[in-house]
Amino acid sequence: MSQAKRPRVGLLATCLMNVFRPNIGFSAVDLLRAAGCEVAVPDSQTCCGQPAYSAGDDELAGRMARQLIEQFEGYDCLVSPSGSCVGTVRKYPQLLAGDAQWAPRAEALAARSFELLSFLVDVRQVDIQARYPGRATYHDSCSGLRQLGVKRQPRELLSKVDGLELTEMEDAEVCCGFGGSFCVKYPKISEKMVDDKLRSIGASGADTLLGGDLGCLMNMAGRLKRIGSKVRVWHTAEVLAGRTDGAAIGEEESR
Amino acid sequence: MKALPGSFDSRAEAALADPSLQKALANFKPLFVAKRAAAVAELPEFERLRDAAAGIKDAVLCELDVWLERYADKVESLGGKVHFAKDAEAAREIIRDICRKAGARTVCKGKSMVSEEIGLNEVLEEDGYRVVETDLGEYIIQLAKEPPSHIIAPAIHKTREQVADLFAQNHPGRPREDSVAGLVNEARHALRERFFQSDVGITGGNFLIAETGTSVIVTNEGNGDLTQTLSRIHVVTSGIERVIPTLDDLSVFLRLLARSATGQDTECYTTLSTGPRRPGDVDGPEEYHVVLVDNGRSKMLAGRFRDMLRCIRCGACMNHCPVYGAVGGHAYGWVYPGPMGSILTPLFNGLAETYDLPNACTLNGRCQSVCPVRIPLTDLIRTMRNEQVKAGLMPASQRRMMAAWGWVARQPGLYRALERLGSRMMRLRAGRRGALSSLPGAGAWTEGRDLPAPAGPTFIDQWKSRGREQ
């Protein structure tokens, strides 16, 4: 697939991105095209089933998995700007292991599914031509980091952004307290965790927070906004694609 | 130990609102994590040791009955006595019986999580024995009449000031100490007397070695040694899963345990005990008993949580758990807190009674990434949620919501329409502010943070209307 001259990529438009941050989707399309891919956005896609899978509802998660496999198995690969959604797709083989018909299809799709930032380094090379004047710190979202090994790839890509200085925060690899439904089931604990994260962001001296998973970014941006912080929050893809003219995540539009 | 009163939620909220606890947690949190990382970085073979250790445990678990028999035969051939206890009550009775027959008055204890698990102290105290915890942390919480909040640092939730207050109340006639060194010295002084009076010494067992019939404890204070060498009778309490084949295997685990637990290369004391005192020995107990506790473990062997039996009780999972770091160990309500507890407690105490534990987890995977025996903790926590669902324990409201969402998510047209509607409503409400400070139905989100508002129509709608070109 990686050898294919112009691979056909099916973009998994995650639920959160689709509703809250379309700019990430367009950034992903730009970057994938710059990496020589043909991009399609399957119309019928809905959700990878992560909420059901995380809640332990394997039956429903399995049904969602079968639906998504059907929608995406016709492409050379599936790419998504979210470590946790791709992490879920990578769990499909385990989820459908008892199903002789679907297990091999799950295996085949999981093997061709990639998180966007690691795809742009490990599978396809991309020429980054973006400028972002600012001092940014990077939060390693847990699913991407620990399920998919996304760590060095975003940093490698960000090092090519003109004007951007990356400064590491303490505990960059510690959960921000989002955790999907965790943050609404245990809001007080989540708040404590995100406050710890905000302290690390503050101590880093960064004016910008970047990451690779919108759920985590919305959690941190929402808390930053609540306490009146001026730190700007972007998905890494937005910065890499140079789509940072508008408002950052949770920011007022007038800016 | 009985489960603590209240729900996880109520205990967690109390923990978050307790400034002393938060101070203690803030002090503790970075300590073990940084020390472990430094210790691991110095040992290039650490990852291979983890593989080896997991392999040894898995091999033993495949024929646990055989290894237990070998171990028991060896212990008995050396003059020791092995007792098998199928549950907590059986274990308590065995130990009460040993104490009764010994005509004991004072019982000293080295640290043993199994004795907490079976609720030993309470019954021995009811029987009229003076029971003395000799691990400093255990001693502190015994004085405070609290359960442990961490498996290797049981009093980690206490600040130095609180310990000073506690000692001042309990050690009359001594001037108040405030320094750590002073407090340690004070405890040492109080405990030393007890060691000399001890009739029965009860310790845990980190490892049981089948080849030699040896029990192994690791401590940092030497209290375990004093407990077992100065008492007339030594009782080892241990879970049945702690047996390993050989001394060579022990060396694998010892290289992992201290580094994972406290970031030390090795603990200060590693003590191997083999049988009672033989003729001609200068010390050692008159009687040597091992109480092997099943208490639900053999059931785990056959199920989806078998990997959990590899656990060597190092505490790395809770040291690295951000939820544990936020609320401390007591919120988990029983002996084993943190990620390991979120799996063990439901198995030991029932899925319904412990519903919150596996759910109060962000599935961030940090525990799993540091487990020295590669227990897939995060996966097992999720599997526990699946067990809850299968047992019909998911609350009805959540079940209905999940079913409705699942139905809609399989009707792409309807899903799109609802996304479109939601996006429009949130944008309308947010105006140009970019975020919502409240939203009906999203109160749990907005109580602590704003909700970034949708920035324009949905991606898929825009994608379509732009003719898929831009």
pLDDT tens for residues B277-299?
Answer: 999 999 899 999 999 999 999 99
Whether the pLDDT of residue B186 is over 60: the answer is yes
Sign, CA torsion A203/A208/A211/A214: positive
pLDDT at B28: 86
Q: Is residue B343 part of a domain?
A: no
Instruction: Kindly state the average pLDDT of the residues B349-377.
Output: 97
Query: Model confidence over A138-179: pLDDT tens digits?
Result: 999 999 999 999 999 999 999 999 999 999 999 999 999 999
* Calpha distance B344→B305 (Å, rounded): 9
Name the residue facing B382 among A56, A67, A177 (closest C-beta). Answer: A56
B282 and B141 in one domain?
A: yes
When CB atoms are compared, the residue of B435, B444, B458 closest to A19 is B458
Residue B31's pLDDT is what?
87
Mutate to test the interface with B, among A8, A11, A19 (most CBs of B within 10 A): A19
The answer to whether the CB atoms of A57 and B386 lie below 8 A apart is yes
Check residue A10 and give its pLDDT: 98
Helix ranges, chain A (H): 15-20, 22-34, 50-54, 58-72, 83-95, 103-111, 116-118, 142, 148, 152-158, 182-185, 187-204, 214-226, 236-240
Work out the mean pLDDT of chain A and round it to a whole number.
96
Q: What average pLDDT does the segment A237-242 reach?
A: 98
pLDDT of res. B470: 46
| CB A167 within 8 Å of CB A41 | no
Is the Cβ of B438 closer than 8 Å to some Cβ of chain A?
Answer: no
Number of domains, chain B: 2
What's the pLDDT at B469?
54
Q: Given pLDDT bands bounded at 50, 70 and 90, which one contains residue B467?
A: confident
Question: What pLDDT shows up at residue B468?
Answer: 59
Test the A interface: residue of B33, B305, B362 with most A CBs within 10 Å: B362
The single-letter code of the amino acid at B54 is A
> Is the confidence at residue B324, as pLDDT, over 70?
yes
**Looking at the DSSP assignment, which residues form a beta bridge with residue A137?**
A209
Q: Which residue has tokens 């759910």?
A: B359
Which residue among B13, B389, B435 sits closest to A222, beta carbon to beta carbon?
B435
* Residues 159 through 198 of chain A touching chain B, CB cutoff 8 Å: 173-175, 177-180, 182-194, 196
Q: Which of residues 359-378 of B touch A (CB under 8 A)?
A: 359-366, 368-369
Looking at domain A126-240, its CATH architecture is: 3-Layer(aba) Sandwich (3.40)
Lowest mean pLDDT among A2-16, B12-26, B257-271, B312-326: A2-16
Q: Which residue of B has its CA nearest to A224?
A: B449
Contact: A52, B402; criterion CB under 8 Å:
yes
Residue span(s) of chain A under CATH 3.40.50.11810 come to 126-240
Q: Pick the last residue of a domain from B273, B298, B323.
A: B298
Mode of pairing for the β-strands spanning A208-211 and A232-235: parallel
Count CB neighbours of B173 within 10 A: 4
pLDDT of residue A3: 52
In a domain, B152, yes or no: yes
CB distance from A17 to chain B under 8 Å?
A: yes
Residue of A17, A57, A68 to mutate for B, most B C-beta atoms under 10 A: A57
Give the chain A residue nearest B395 (alpha carbons): A55
Residues B220 and B79 placed together within one structural domain of the fold: yes
Q: Find residue A39's DSSP bridge partners.
A: A9
* Structural domain boundaries enclosing B293: 8-298
Q: How far is A243 from chain B (nearest CA, A)?
A: 13
Chain B, nearest residue to A142 by Cα: B364
pLDDT tens, residue by residue, B30-78? 889 999 999 999 999 999 999 999 999 999 999 999 999 999 999 999 9
pLDDT, one tens digit per residue, over A46-62 is 999 999 999 999 999 99
Mean pLDDT of A91-104: 97
Residue A64: φ, ψ to 5°: -65, -40
Q: Following DSSP, what letter does each residue of B191-236 receive, concatenated?
A: HHHHHHH-SEEEE--SEEETTTTEEEEEESSSHHHHHHHHSSEEEE
Which pLDDT tens digit goes with each residue over B79-115?
A: 999 999 999 999 999 999 999 999 999 999 998 999 9
Judged by CB atoms closer than 8 Å, whether chains meet at B452 and A218 is answered as: yes
Query: What is the band of A126 on the pLDDT scale with cuts at 50, 70, 90?
Result: very high
Q: Predicted confidence band at A253 (pLDDT cuts at 50, 70, 90)?
A: confident
In chain A, % of residues over pLDDT 90:
96
